[in-house]
Amino acid sequence: MNEWDRKRERMVREQLVARGIRDQRVISAFGRVERHRFVTDTELPYSYDDRPLPIGFGQTISQPYIVALMTELLELRGREKILEVGCGSGYQTAILAELGGEVYAIERIGELLISSERVLEELGYNRVHTRVGDGSIGWKEAAPFDRILIAAATPSVPKSLIEQLAEGGRLVAPVGSKYEQMLCLVEKGASGTVKITKHGGCVFVPLIGSEGWKAAP
């Protein structure tokens, strides 16, 4: 076991399991995915720290516990078609690829997507589809999705994404202001009914898009 493996093992034990993450598939995935591959050279020494890290362009790689909590709430079993809004570094994308079926990841910043695509390809994630675009309106051509994860703060759950969620599907998103949000789970019933439950406070960068926050002029 090398130093990165030891740090990752400690992260899983102290930051995830100790805080109540119980899904063994999620725990195992976090033990496999090398978070240090998704950070910048400047932040490399802090790869497994208990906090988000800057990845450039005003974006971050999220705190490991929050990534794990959002993933656990999705209840992935291995065959789901997943939409990820806000690919960023690609770390959450890799976790989803470990646990689901096909992953469709949207990122609005092209330079970030190029970087994340390179790492994901190097690590052998070949069931990930990516594109640059406005994630707040989803990926209509590929819908419906069994699971949707929004990795950016939204003032409300975008209507387009609820429409693209399959019946029986689950969507997780940080909902609130630009400065603090509540992690929400949206469950879509067989008749299209929507149930929303809240799972604690969080802070994400804003979701910029036509159904999110408007970009600064």
Task: List the catalytic residues.
Answer: 62
Chain centroid, CA 49 distance in Å = 18
What is the DSSP track for the chain?
--HHHHHHHHHIIIIIGGGT---HHHHHHHHHS-GGGGS-TTTGGGTTSSS-EEEETTEEEPPHHHHHHHHHHH---S--EEEEE--TTSHHHHHHHHHSSEEEEEES-HHHHHHHHHHHHHTT--SEEEEES-GGG--GGG--EEEEEE-SBBSS--HHHHHHEEEEEEEEEEEE-SS-EEEEEEEE-TTS-EEEEEEEEE---B-BSTTSBPPP-
Confirm if 18 and 65 have CB atoms less than 8 A apart.
Answer: no
Number of Cβ within a 10 Å radius of residue 132:
15
Least Cα distance to 127 among 152, 106, 102 occurs for 102
**Amino acid, res. 190:** A
